[in-house]
Chains A and B, each alone.
Chain A
């Protein structure tokens, strides 16, 4: 089932669900006919859409709202924080083309600080599926949770067979003593291929698909920290406030330290181009992820001697 079919199935069973959009219908084209007045398109008005979603939630609805991730999370940020966050309303925010998925649009469309700003809102959950299967697997729990939630929509088709989705738990792809690659969202595939390359070179490689950044599977992170020589975080997000920062918070809170190499965007927006060219230019191809990882691991091993 794809995203729209899954959402339609949930909405059919639960009258509380209303589907909203700020005129971004790419993934929900059939919803108007399916849902009638439970489909609400407010036009290009991200702020008004979020305010209205809060009003609908106040009346017992579960609004599932759609807009481009950058405008949803940043243009409407104060409405999310003030109307949804302060009131603890179960509004579900679905951001299209987050991170590198905005490919050639340019920096206006780059949501690469979304995880950072959304996870700072009390009660807000933050999800990042690796592909369409992962997306539809987590969707029911995200919608049924009593909390507000933001999801980096990623409907990429991939043949990888994920393990069952468990709320609050990351998906362990493999365990390894030398390296553990931590990633979320779109970069799952490139990271997975990097893992295969590293394994071919003889390294013992662990990999984790985090699935949700908030809640974060802290227990797993702490367990990995004690059992691998190097952790590599791979994310299409600014270095500040994303996965690397989350790890730093966890490790500081637990007074532990361990080698972590972050692959993230540093202090600038990424070069707009078609997706594969972005991977090349920003050095997020499987080859580059593997190459940087080996170099960092060697540095770590040298420093330990």
Chain B
């Protein structure tokens, strides 16, 4: 990727982050988890996935499954930026007039399956990957999982099965933002060494900085979809990335800001003054 291409991705990511910030008022959203994987989702739709607003029913398109679910504002924002849905539709966030809520669902063009209950979409993706193999199609199936999600046994169960069927058309992308809901993963249910765990499950593993487009690009360009191994990319990310006032904070999981605060956060995103935040964070768990 050349400099101009990277700059384009950075601009698109900023736009998506603005959408995410705007969705964190009037009801709010899981802003931290959305910001941590915004760059990954923007990269996938811009550079990697064969998915466009025009080919959503093509059986040979690539698939993205958002298994962690809470990051869906990043996907809504990306789909709006790329013309899958109209940008105005994002104003319907949390309204009964539309289906733009806290977890993904298939009423939104571009969203392949609903999620919300963790540890489900790895197995759903296995079904899709098996069918693509049966039909000798070369689609690639990407599953974005959270690191907290890896507490769920079904994640590892699915890895066993995916390995048994040598699903090299399957790519697990781990948004390693180092947080469960409100606690650091390593302080509650430690996951490291993640690479060793995935290697022990016979996966092909790569670990990258999930905010560096060159590293992301190199990892995805290096994916081998004929090597007989399930592909895993562990992307180290920062929860709340782009907004220093909420980055990597245990208490900024689900946020419902005032419109004044989201305005200030947009200015903070663009490197202007740091936002003053008074809204308390809703701690659901």
Contacts and interface: CB of A to CB of B under 8 A. Distances in A.
Whether A and B are associated in the same complex: the answer reads yes
A265 interface: no
B130 A56 contact: yes
Interface stretch (A77-85, A140-148, A227-235, A290-298): A77-85
Q: Determine chain A's interface SS by DSSP, over half rule.
A: helix
Interface stretch (A46-54, A163-171, A182-190, A214-222): A46-54
A48 B158 CA distance: 6
Contact of B161 (A43, A78, A83): A43
Nearest to A45: B157
Contacts of A48: 122-123, 126, 154, 157-158, 161
Contact of A57 (B59, B121, B127): B127
- Chain B CB count within 10 A is highest, among A50, A51, A61, A87, for A51
B154 A51 contact: yes
B127 A56 contact: yes
B87 interface: no
B134 A47 contact: no
Contacts of A149: none
A27 B140 CA distance: 34
Interface in A1-53: 37-38, 40, 42-43, 45, 47-53
A161 to B, nearest CB: 40
B85 interface: no
- Chain B CB count within 10 A is highest, among A47, A59, A83, A87, for A59
User: Chain B: interface residue count, which band?
Assistant: 20 to 34
Contacts of B158: 45, 48, 51
B133 A51 contact: no
- Chain B CB count within 10 A is highest, among A45, A57, A86, for A45
Contacts of A49: 123
Contacts of A55: 123-131
Contacts of A57: 127
Contacts, number: 91
Nearest to B112: A58
Contact of A86 (B114, B126, B129): B114
A268 to B, nearest CB: 30
Interface in A262-291: none
A203 B147 CA distance: 67
B124 A51 contact: yes
27 contacts: A37-B130, A37-B134, A38-B134, A47-B154, A48-B161, A50-B123, A51-B123, A51-B124, A51-B126, A51-B158, A52-B123, A55-B124, A55-B126, A55-B128, A55-B129, A55-B130, A56-B127, A56-B128, A58-B127, A59-B131, A63-B127, A79-B120, A79-B123, A82-B117, A82-B120, A83-B123, A86-B114
Given A55-B129, A61-B131, A83-B120, 11 more contacts: A40-B130, A45-B158, A45-B160, A48-B161, A49-B123, A51-B122, A51-B126, A54-B124, A55-B128, A79-B120, A82-B117
